[in-house]
Amino acid sequence: MPSTSYLVAVLAIVFTITLALRAIPFALLGRLRDSAIVARLAVWMPVGILAILAVTALHGTMAKDPNGTWYALLAVAVTIGVHLAGGRRTILSVGAGTAVYVVLLNTL
């Protein structure tokens, strides 16, 4: 078992690195706020992240269960519909789509 001083030193280093990595983007944000690249990233990153999340989350179920494909497509349609009708609130739309998908998988 490592000594207490060693563990405290490791934790201090980890804390410092984590704090620095989380603080640096906010420190640079003021300079980059007017950047065209940041403006484009603000538009496309949420869509890209959700697309990657959807593909990776649904791939296993869709490959194993033929009905899972239809459930996934219906859940995606619900997600898109709620997103557009609900004022583009991501948490609401993803939550509704996830709920539909889980209910369909567990009841049918």
70 closest CA partner among 40, 108, 22: 108
pLDDT for residue 68? 79
In the predicted model, what is the mean pLDDT of residues 9-33? 90
The single residue listed with the structure tokens 């890209």 is: 48
Give yes or no for a contact between 82 and 99, defined as CB atoms under 8 angstroms apart: no
Q: What are the domain boundaries of the chain?
A: 1-34, 44-108
Distance of CA 50 to the CA centre of its chain: 6
Contact 107, 78 (CB under 8 A): no
pLDDT reading at 57 higher than 80:
no
Percentage of the chain lying above the pLDDT 70 cut = 100
Is the backbone of residue 87 left (phi > 0), alpha (psi -120 to 50) or beta? Answer: left
pLDDT tens track for 73-94: 898 899 999 999 988 888 999 8
Name the pTM for this structure.
0.53
Tell me the average pLDDT across 15-35: 87
